[in-house]
Structure 1
Amino acid sequence: MIEIRQLSKKYKDADRYSVRNLDLTIYEKEIFGILGPNGAGKTTLISMLSSLLKPTSGSFTIDGLSYQNEMKQLKQIIGIVPQEYALYPSLTAFENLKYFGSMYGLKGSALHSKIEEHLEILGLGTFANKKVHTFSGGMKRRVNLIAGILHRPKVLFLDEPTVGVDVQSKNAIINYLKELNQKGTTILYTSHHLNEAENFCSHIAIIDLGEIICKGEPKTLIKEHKEAENLEEVFLARTGKALRDYA
């Protein structure tokens, strides 16, 4: 579903590449986790694949479509759920979703039905006509998710989709994403919640300094690291325990 070849990104005036010569294949219907410390290149990679950021070099295709020659078609088959809320706080949940759905060509009663259906599934039906600025963090996360999946994308990019939410909202989000995946959507996901990633992802890649340092099924990676009992311990073994503060 996603083929990445020698993909690199270096920001203007940066001392090093944020992503460097990265090769990766992600298959249809996988839930693939991109994990790494702060500044490892996770968000940069997601931003390039979702066509928000132009690569410095290299290439990728999504469902056979090239970002270089088929950008318009490619954007129609992907969904993006960014780490920051991509919502208009002065609009209601329904108004936000109507706006974002219309950007993907959805309209009329079909769009209204999809919005109502997804709000109900994620426990927001009674808040449809409430302004988003009154919502809790978990509620905003759920609206943010719906905005990225109303058009039933073939590939969904998730950048920290459960950061800062309560346990109930996290559970609702993860369960819904699993259902979406079972219906055929390929998911590429980044997170600092390693226990969540261990249980959620079919495959993961750990990246550091813009390069992949290991990849595979979570259970397999744990077995390969004899000192590790879980994915978090694999992560620390491969990336170290030094703090990764950056500005």
Structure 2
Amino acid sequence: MYTNMKKPLLATLAAVGIAGAFLSTGTAQGARAVVIPAVKTDLPAAAGIQTAVLAGGCFWTMEAVFEHVKGVKAVTAGYAGGTKATATYDQVSAETTRHAEAIRIAYDPRIVSYGTLLRVYFSIAHDPTSLNRQGPDSGTSYRSAIFSQSPAQAQIARAYIAQLGQTRAFSGPIVTKLETGTFYAAEAYHQNFYDRNPTHPYIVMWDKPKMAAFRAAFPTISR
């Protein structure tokens, strides 16, 4: 039985103070990118804004990383995999909706390719070998999943997962699944959370180290 650890963690941080929480729960300060190859085959740099939908743990973290990728025009936090009626934070957190916390990325493929977004996704945005868990959060809503927006995206993602498996880039098997489902935007208070809440305990503890690792690993595409 998986549970959403974000709410209990935040309560702990408030109760004992952030310093105590760092000692008792560990931190992501050791976050670093896994060195992985670029995709062998990528989508062409077509004109117009394209969309990608990715899930990989807390959408605050995923949103923070991809909002700072050059060529990304907008990132929306939300839910994917379930129904519109259950696309609310409280329901998704109960782990009964089939939704995953996800992000929708609007990007310019003439500046950043779909394959590059996948490379960031697998290398640093989340741990693709962690089943239904990322950092302090556990449950199926934190699963690793790609919601391809076209058959071409699905083909590229499937091939890249196979490529990474063949190169043994990770110490364990990749658990990322290709899924289908409509994306639903999350509540307004979840949007642009990292930039609007720089001192929030969760952001300080988990997301700022991730952002530092992203900038170190991808200096040419970070902003």
Q: Which has the larger radius of gyration?
A: 1
Q: Greater strand percent: which structure?
A: 1
Question: Do both share a fold (TM > 0.5)?
Answer: no
Q: TM-score, normalised on structure 2?
A: 0.28
Query: What's the TM-score, normalizing by structure 1?
Result: 0.26
Which has the higher relative contact order, 1 or 2, with Cα contacts under 8 A spaced 6 or more apart?
2
